[in-house]
Homo-oligomer: A and B are copies of this chain.
């Protein structure tokens, strides 16, 4: 029935949790109709989630509990590399006055792990834990550029090349061209592939045994990320920070 040997009740419960995450505090019936599930089933799931402390019930308005934040922070703290990366993200944000982030690949998608706004950084709805198609983000491209071909193909097969803007990469040839150029110059460029008007550069963070830990990136508006700043100043800062981070990780 389901994929294979997986537990349907758990899949449903996470669908309910995700529904609560996107639709905010909401009542039982809205969930049931939104997910096309019987009310009694949703009710039982919510009772269970509430009993476990993962959902709050404010007079029939169900919402996600902060226990998810607890687990999320534990997930973020699971590797010391992520903590070291947070410091470098802070430095980059301070020195460039733009937004800086550290991103990893998880299940074939790019996930923001740390993010910091510099003094002039533009607002954007990126937050830790947010996922984007890996081929659209600068850090994602940087990560992919160090993956073996078969692993890249597997990700493309699984997720396709979904566009987030008209300038997103959408065909495999362009992707591999961009990855090749990324390898050559050591950093990637995302030109308005995630958000229009926003440009970013990214660099892969290599750990021990030549594995990719994740990617550091700097992003800002196209009118500031251009010319000599785009070609020299920011890449130099980014690659410097990446290099320092790699040393931190090796000799922590």
Contact = CB atoms under 8 A, between A and B. Distances in A.
Interface of A: 3, 5-7, 9-11, 13-14, 17-18, 21-22, 24-25, 44-45, 47-49, 51-54, 56, 63-78, 104, 106-107, 111, 113, 127-131
B44 A6 contact: yes
A7 B43 CA distance: 11
The count of identical subunits is 2
A75 B71 contact: no
Contacts of A64: 71-72, 74-75, 78
Contacts of A25: 78
Contacts of A9: 7, 9-10
Nearest to A54: B14
Given A21-B75, A53-B107, A78-B24, A70 B129 contact: yes
14 contacts: A5-B44, A7-B13, A17-B71, A21-B70, A24-B78, A53-B106, A56-B107, A66-B128, A66-B129, A67-B131, A68-B68, A68-B71, A69-B73, A70-B131
A53 to B, nearest CB: 5
Given A10-B45, A66-B72, 15 more contacts: A5-B44, A10-B10, A14-B54, A21-B71, A21-B75, A56-B107, A63-B75, A66-B76, A66-B104, A66-B113, A66-B129, A68-B71, A68-B129, A71-B129, A73-B129
A3 B47 CA distance: 10
A14 B73 contact: no
